[in-house]
Structure 1
Amino acid sequence: MVSGDVEPFPPLQTDHLSKDKRGNGKNGTVRRRKSSGLGAELPGDTSVPAFATLGSPPATPTEPTREKSGRRSKRRSVWRALSKYKRICMRHTWVFPLTLVVIILSLYLVKPSPKNPISAALFLSYPLPRAPGSDPAEPIQYGKGARDFAFVGFYTIVFSFTREFLMQRFIRPIAIRCGIKNRAKQARFMEQFYTAMYFAVYGPFGLYVMSRTPIWYFNTTAMYEGFPHKTHEAIFKAYYLLQASYWAQQMLVLLLGLEKPRKDFKEFVAHHIITLTLIWCSYRFHFTYMGLAIYITMDISDFFLATSKILNYLDSPITGPYFFVFMCVWGYLRHYVNLRVLYSILTEFKTVGPYELNWETQQYKCWISQIITFALLAALQAVNLFWWFLICRIAYRFIRYSTADDDRSEYEESDTEETTEKKGDKKSAKKTPNGKANGNDVANGTPKVFLNGEEISTPDKPTSGSDTGSIGSRIRDRKKTQQ
């Protein structure tokens, strides 16, 4: 076969060639193609971007995308603000209760009137109208009801703010100025200073309220005369409910762990539970005269206890005589007066005034209330006797060893002492490495290896003495030892 008779490639467009052959049928030559199909749109996936356009900026976002990004930015800003507020509250513990107080006051100021439900939290509720023909100079009497819980709850928040604010902004600088550098001792000083400030106000306030009642001065018979005592004047009711707020706030301090637990933590919690139970039962079942007397015995004795501890923290020279005064006040109020009240429950509770159970007339002075009242006050007296034992032991140690330290408190090292010890450890670590082999110390060009602060002995290098002689002499000595 001749090579010229065979075409190297098959014809691309047979139709075009056939037309050319028809037009040029003389010699049968093939015309060159005038165009090709490359200019047309290529089949397949043509939506893939080219390499040159991969780095180009994205298309302009649509309106829904902008709305989502705006919402996300708002959520992030709110979350950041809340996180910042949380950090501030953790650092300054008075900020959160202050925020609650401001919110409650703002809600009341929206419509300041007795019809506003927030008014029950700010002011006393249930004022009673005067009886016809009564003396207008007599104070208005107030009843009792469920709205009083709002009053106690709000002032519990107020006491939380005042406690933390006074301790951090007022009492801590006093402790530092007095030379108390230990953090734990500062905390105890601040707690006792605030306690002394509170009872310095409410101790005399309670005596004034008692002077306006028939039970002055701890008249146990008047506690049962004219029972039930369902109404009181404003100053009596305010004192009673504010005291309830204080003890509720103290219970929150224990539950939230704002104070470091002491060795008598269980007894302290039991004391607070008994106190709150007595407050509620005495207010609900109209034994408020008895509750007023117990309030005063606790307030005045706690004032002398707190001030005695403050003098001890300051190493005052009058700590000893003042502690003796405190013991006399504590023994008289917490034991003598309270035991008198307990004795009156056994003798006068049944004989003075009505003695029956009547829910309609709110007559609750009966056999079951007698048992409950005696049991609660006896439990409170048991806790007081336990603390009296600790007080007597402190007094014995003070007389015997001239120390009046409180066994219940446990102090920790201050930050200054810890930083000083850390600096000392770092200096000693630089001189003698601990726990790691190190070659920082060099003697005569040869590094020394230490382990746990002691130099390691090696076969070719003694631990003691200076390295003398040449390298060759040391090699010969090593060969002799090996032989």
Structure 2
Amino acid sequence: MPSTEAFPLLSSTDKLAPRQHNVEQPRIRRRSSGLGGEIRAGDTSAPALATLDVRPPSPGTIKVSRAPSCYNMVTRAEDKQAQNDSYRKKPFSKRRKAKSLFVKWKRYALKHTWVTPLILIGVFLALFAINPTESNPIHHFIFLSYKLPAEPGAPVHYGKGWWDFAFVAFYIVVLSFTREFIMQQWLRPMARKSGLKSRAKQSRFMEQMYTAIYFGVLGPCGLYVMSRTPVWYFNTRGMYEGFPHKTHEADFKFYYLFQAAYWAQQALVLSLGMEKPRKDYKELVGHHITTLFLIGLSYRCHFTYMGLAVYITHDISDFFLATSKTLNYLDHPLVGPYFGFFIVAWCYLRHYLNLRILWSEFNEFKTVGPYELNWETEQYKCDLSHWISTFLLASLQGLNIFWLYYILRIAYRFLFYNVAEDDRSDNDENELAEEQRLDALSRSGVDAAAGPKVLLNGSPVQENGKENGKENGNENGKANGKANGKANGTTKVQTDGLTNRKTTTRKASRKV
């Protein structure tokens, strides 16, 4: 009676048909544009739902983090197939139908992330259309609240109150729709036409291009609003004269709350944690927390003129930062000179002007305007508000200096070494390089995502291999492809065209 092996030879591959796998592999660096790397600075890197990898895995997909045994992978795949077969045998029911519809809707909503916020906007507009008057509570979500009576010929002013939170919440949904729709329907086709084939690079392009569009519109709007206030042009004394500033014109209040909705929407998406954190993730989160505290406290304590100045300095500098990153992704020949122009704009707006605002906390905060704490008259310009606002502005300036260091380091390496890679961008660089490698393999006809593939002594087992071993290059029918007829060999698992370390070594107890 012939002896049997503890681990039979894999001479048949009927059970090892290639399936799609998501496999994490060592990455290589990307070489892109004149800057040579990602511009990892600033607060324009918050992701969007359209660029987050939140798609559910396809049926039969096996997530492999290390090189597993080929037997385990076959077993898992067979179990998954058996589970799917058992589902098909179950009788049809209303519950299964509802679940199927929900799954289909979930997949559609994840693919078209702008549909859900659009539906919510439609619901609010429909509810308002039933009674389009100020008595309708939905009016507070869509339009400004607390309108004050105005004298003839004088501009209308608006007060502040709790319904302003409803206004911000509604426009968080509006901004979510506009961001996802513009990125998916306009910017992704634009990225493809620009020659960006990597999906990761398309996502970065879409995020920065949308940021450039948003601040390209809101930046001039902020300057217009400032021109109608005593703060023009960054007049720090006007921030404290006539304090407290309890009421504002419609354009001022709309701009201030709309900007609050933008930063709240950015922080909300960032807090979902659906994207792998980047190297400056902590700094980006800290920036958003500081910004939201500044917006909320300045609005509640009537330091809105100071908040307006901070808004504008960050909006315009973010526009130049986003456009600089966009040119970098496109490998544009002007990326070098434009990056130099961006550094000048960054230093002027985020450091010179913001340091002037911070310095006014020490030489004008106490001397210009009233200085007392009175809860009844909402007079909050006192020692407590002085140190809170100073701390928040100083924290914001510290984050800007942190990013300035990396910006100047990129410029230094570019000027003196013709290399401007930022080691804080390894994650993004590797993602782009990996997708570029996979794209190149697909164009050359190599299926890089068909793994894992089983190798016997370095020879791949073909999908339709014959039991006599001829499909593995063995004319004499021996499984190891050697003339000595021995079946001892090494089993390896190859994924994405790369052979991992030796996983299983066995010795046969009989000859084939």
TM-score (norm: length of structure 2): 0.70
**Cα deviation code 1:297-323 (max 9, x no counterpart):** 000000000000000111111011100
Q: Matched residues in 1 for 2:474 and 2:111: separation?
A: 56
The structure whose residues are more often helix, as a share, is 1
1:226-375 to 2 correspondences below 5 Å: 226-257=242-273, 259-375=275-391
Matched, 1:124 2:140: no
Q: Matched residues in 2 for 1:331 and 1:128: separation?
A: 40
Q: Matched residues in 2 for 1:84 and 1:443: separation?
A: 46
Q: Which one-letter code corresponds to 2:351 in the other structure?
A: H
Q: Matched residues in 1 for 2:390 and 2:351: separation?
A: 15
Where structure 1 has 5 or more consecutive residues not aligned to the other structure, the ranges are 1-71, 461-483
Q: Is the 8 A contact 2:361 2:390 kept in 1?
A: yes
Q: CA 1:173/1:411 → structure 2, altered by over 3 Å: closer, same or farther? A: farther
Q: Which one-letter code corresponds to 1:422 in the other structure?
A: D
Q: Which one-letter code corresponds to 1:165 in the other structure?
A: F
Matched, 1:81 2:101: yes
Aligned to 2:309, what secondary structure does the other structure show? helix
Residue 449 of structure 1 deviates from its aligned partner by: 3.5
Match of 1:410 in 2: 429
Q: Which one-letter code corresponds to 1:440 in the other structure?
A: K
Bigger Rg, which one: 1
Match of 2:470 in 1: 440
Q: Matched residues in 1 for 2:475 and 2:394: separation?
A: 82
Aligned to 1:410, what secondary structure does the other structure show? helix
Q: Is the 8 A contact 1:185 1:411 kept in 2?
A: no
Q: Is the 8 A contact 1:449 1:456 kept in 2?
A: no
Q: CA 1:382/1:438 → structure 2, altered by over 3 Å: closer, same or farther? A: farther
Q: Is the 8 A contact 2:470 2:476 kept in 1?
A: no
Q: Is the 8 A contact 1:308 1:323 kept in 2?
A: yes
Match of 2:124 in 1: 104
Q: Is the 8 A contact 2:182 2:210 kept in 1?
A: yes
Aligned to 1:447, what secondary structure does the other structure show? coil
1:13-162 to 2 correspondences below 5 Å: 77-130=97-150, 134=151, 136-162=152-178
Residue 167 of structure 1 deviates from its aligned partner by: 0.6
Where structure 2 has 5 or more consecutive residues not aligned to the other structure, the ranges are 1-91, 488-512
Q: Which one-letter code corresponds to 1:400 in the other structure?
A: F
Q: Matched residues in 2 for 1:380 and 1:160: separation?
A: 25
Match of 2:181 in 1: 165
Matched, 1:394 2:410: yes
Q: Matched residues in 2 for 1:398 and 1:455: separation?
A: 55
The number of residues matched between the two structures is 382
Q: Matched residues in 2 for 1:177 and 1:190: separation?
A: 13
Match of 1:10 in 2: none
- Seq. identity, %: 58
Q: Matched residues in 2 for 1:417 and 1:438: separation?
A: 35
Q: CA 1:186/1:259 → structure 2, altered by over 3 Å: closer, same or farther? A: farther
Q: CA 1:201/1:425 → structure 2, altered by over 3 Å: closer, same or farther? A: closer
Q: Matched residues in 2 for 1:444 and 1:167: separation?
A: 53
Match of 1:422 in 2: 447
TM-score (norm: length of structure 1): 0.74
Match of 1:33 in 2: none
Q: Matched residues in 1 for 2:473 and 2:257: separation?
A: 79
Aligned to 1:363, what secondary structure does the other structure show? coil
Q: Matched residues in 1 for 2:339 and 2:473: separation?
A: 64
Match of 1:193 in 2: 209
Residue 440 of structure 1 deviates from its aligned partner by: 2.4
Aligned to 2:331, what secondary structure does the other structure show? coil
Q: Matched residues in 1 for 2:472 and 2:290: separation?
A: 71
Residue 425 of structure 1 deviates from its aligned partner by: 8.2
The Cα RMSD (Å) is 2.7
Using CA pairs under 8 Å that are at least 6 residues apart, name the structure with larger relative contact order, 1 or 2.
2
